[in-house]
Amino acid sequence: MTPQTQELIRNCLVGATLLPLLSSAVLILIGKRWLGRCVSSWGATLAMGASMAMAIIALAAWMRAIHPQPILWQKNWIPIPGNDTGWLHLGLLADSLTVVLMVMVSGISFLVHLYSIGYMKGDDRFERFFAYLSLFTFSMLGIVTAAGLTQLFVMWELVGLTSYLLIGFWHERRGPQLASKKAWVMNRIGDAGFIIGFGILFFKLSGNVLLPAAQGALSSSDSLVTMFGAIEQVLATESDAVGVTYSFTNPPLWLTAAGIALFFGAIGKSAQFPLHTWLPDAMEGPTPVSSIVHSATMVAAGVYLTARIYPILTPGAHLFVATIGLITLVMAAAMAMVMTDIKRVLAYSTLSQLGYMILALGAGAYSFALFHLVTHAFFKCCLFQCSGSIINAAHHEQDMRQYGGLGRKLPITTFCYFVCTLAIAGASIPWTVWGISGFYSKDGIIAGTVNYGHAMHEMLGIWAHLFWLGPTVVAYVTVFYMARSFSLTFLGKPRNQDLYAHAHEAPWTMLLPQLCLAAMAVLTAPFILGFWKDLIVISEPQVAWMQTAANLEHGHAMEATHGYLLHGLAWIIMLVLGIVMYLPGMAVSSHIVKIPPINLLYKWAHNKFYFDGLYDIFTVNLFKFIALIAGTFDKYIVDGQIGTIWPGLVNGPALLIKKIANGIGLFDNKVVDGMVNGAANAAQSGGQLLRNAQPGRVRVYVLLLFTAAALIAFVVLTTVTVNASQP
């Protein structure tokens, strides 16, 4: 890799990162007053396009380079006196992961900008929206290019700020107010964990908090510069001191703790259990915001962080990560099945897919987790944009029960939605290895979890099977709920004639991004797959103990595990099932819920799918039951409802803290302050008492005077012996 190439990549990445910041600053300062709506929106969009172009140039340069080396470029920021490194740095670390994600983030952001021009048309704060959107993109690009935990954290917080601004964009209404606040506060909970992990690593590593670069990366002498090498060094020193041989398989407690603490940041940003409740609420924001939050930026940040710290996670931390991923994955999928708001279905779907990624990272399927991150970004962004077009067409009605038959009115949106449904379903041609994007990524993740389940069997016993069972089952569920939403929205008869009559296709600025994303959703797999191995798979961090757990050569994982999706038939069955079941709207399913299941099953099966009735009991109803429990659990136990006996894991502590705060406020006012006032009062009442001796009448004073004089004289005369001798 020549220095010229390095410089080119570096400049492109820095430029791509800073350009959105520049456009955002310009829009905030002079957007409304001088630039106007047209210039503002198109300017921001074009700036984003330029940013994307630079990212693509960087990617191309990276791929053309022979033996590309990670680029590290730092600028001093906060001086850290008395420390080995001397500074906290801002800076760029460019390796293959960075260049790929840069293209993804800037590309999707560009399309979302374009989409917003149509979607936000008519909004009062149009210019401001683009400013926030660009700032949001900038902060995500900053995360992706961060060389160390410092910059990562700074940008991490900026993502929090901008998501707050965007989710609460329509803050006149109460919903967005609460949702934006909730999103940021819950993110801050994760951030507190991040700071703790940062602090532990900071003092253990003498301030060296550079992220571990992708492997293959820095030459051995340089490797000490990164966190991974520094940790190895510290472990060696501590081993000498303690007498125990520490390593990543036999780690000291602080290393596990640091890993888990940092992962808490990811739990917050990627909305994992138990901090996931903000994400569905964040639907209150404008739809373009949802489409970018759920795909390329905010939730992706958590996955990205976990991937970056992947090499320093210990087995215990990996287990924690995998468990969190598993819980989120299953719970969210179950909930996605019962939602009737189209955006909420997609939101829970996002949660579930993020669970896949986190589980995969925990289970050691590193490259597939990232692959799924990229593929998911495209199809989920597209799905949200489609939902935005639908909502736009339906005059802001989001309830799927009011839809139906929209496919005839919105052909292009329908097409895009269907393609993306296939992509998220992991569609493939049965008995072959050909499919579209979701197929490859999800398949690889399941393969990884199977291996992880086997490896964990010794430790966890039968529970270890959950690690692969969960994702496999949810793969079916995913198809089902997506098919359900597709069916309810586009197929069947129009259930609200008024709405149907006024529905119309969106303007081209909204349709073009949808089509692009749909195309990407189909193409990413075959297109990327070729060089994905060159870029990510070969640069996967070589974690010694993890390889034994994965027990497979990474390149082979894909071919070896296609069987797990039932040779590609399963998705077809679930898709058809979902579509057909909801063709008549909620009529069928509402009966399933209300009436004893057997009757309903009979009726339903009699009409359509008689042969697989039994299957339905155990899928639909069981899942619905689980979903109901999960939904209730989420609503009442985790999130909590005010006024019930159990205030909830989230609202409860908030309520409790509020109460404690009130109590402390009272305590402060009455007790702490009371003591202060008490002292003053004591002095005052003492004075009051003495005051009685001062009647103000001359004769009393005189009396007192003489009495006192007489007393003194008496005392003196009786005690002092006068020497009578005369001079």
Query: Is residue 164 involved in binding other proteins (CB under 8 A)?
Result: yes
Given candidates 63, 185, 573, 586, which one binds other proteins under the rule CB under 8 A?
185
Q: At what angle do helices 126-145 and 3-26 cross, to 10 degrees?
A: 150
Task: Give min distance, CB of 235 to other proteins, in A.
Answer: 15
Task: Give min distance, CB of 357 to other proteins, in A.
Answer: 25
Distance CA 536, CA 370 (A): 8
Which positions ≥6 away from 616 have C-beta within 8 Å?
A: 577, 601, 604, 605, 609
Total residues in contact with other proteins, by rule CB under 8 A: 64
Taking contact as CB under 8 A, which single stretch among the options 176-184, 243-251, 466-474, 575-583 is the one that binds other proteins? 176-184
Distance CA 213, CA 234 (A): 18
Contact 471, 359 (CB under 8 A): yes
Given candidates 50, 80, 605, 655, which one binds other proteins under the rule CB under 8 A?
80
- What is the x/- site pattern for other proteins, positions 134-153, by CB under 8 A? -------------------x
Query: Is residue 529 involved in binding other proteins (CB under 8 A)?
Result: no
- Which of 390, 377, 412 has its CA nearest to residue 521? 377
Task: Give min distance, CB of 176 to other proteins, in A.
Answer: 8
What are residue 474's DSSP bridge partners?
A: none
Query: Is residue 48 involved in binding other proteins (CB under 8 A)?
Result: no
Task: Give min distance, CB of 149 to other proteins, in A.
Answer: 11
- Environment class of residue 504 by beta-carbon count within 10 Å: exposed (0-12), middle (13-18) or buried (19+)? exposed
Residue 555: other Cβ atoms inside 10 A: 12
Task: Give min distance, CB of 86 to other proteins, in A.
Answer: 11
Query: Is residue 202 involved in binding other proteins (CB under 8 A)?
Result: yes
Contact 200, 261 (CB under 8 A): yes
Nearest CB to other proteins, comparing residues 462 and 689: 689
Query: Is residue 573 involved in binding other proteins (CB under 8 A)?
Result: no
Query: Is residue 633 involved in binding other proteins (CB under 8 A)?
Result: no
Given candidates 67, 172, 458, 643, which one binds other proteins under the rule CB under 8 A?
172
DSSP symbol at 94:
E
Task: Give min distance, CB of 32 to other proteins, in A.
Answer: 8
Q: At what angle do helices 466-490 and 342-363 cross, to 10 degrees?
A: 160
Contact 16, 102 (CB under 8 A): yes
Query: Is residue 305 involved in binding other proteins (CB under 8 A)?
Result: no
Give the rounded distance of the alpha carbon of 589 from its chain centre.
32
Nearest CB to other proteins, comparing residues 77 and 609: 77
Query: Is residue 181 involved in binding other proteins (CB under 8 A)?
Result: yes
Residue 395: other Cβ atoms inside 10 A: 10
Query: Is residue 36 involved in binding other proteins (CB under 8 A)?
Result: no
Nearest CB to other proteins, comparing residues 185 and 519: 185
Query: Is residue 433 involved in binding other proteins (CB under 8 A)?
Result: no
Task: Give min distance, CB of 201 to other proteins, in A.
Answer: 9
Task: Give min distance, CB of 658 to other proteins, in A.
Answer: 7
Per DSSP, the three-state class of 334 is helix
Distance CA 151, CA 138 (A): 12
**DSSP string for residues in 399-450:** BGGG--SGGGT-HHHHHHHHHHHHHHHT-B-TTSS-B-HHHHHHHHHHHHHH
Contact 82, 168 (CB under 8 A): no
- What is the x/- site pattern for other proteins, positions 641-680, by CB under 8 A? -------------x--xx-xxx-xx--x---xx--x---x
Contact set with other proteins (CB under 8 A): 28, 76-83, 153-155, 157-158, 161, 164, 168, 171-172, 174, 177-178, 180-181, 184-185, 188-189, 191-192, 195-196, 198-200, 202-204, 206, 654, 657-658, 660-662, 664-665, 668, 672-673, 676, 680, 690-691, 694-699, 701-703, 706
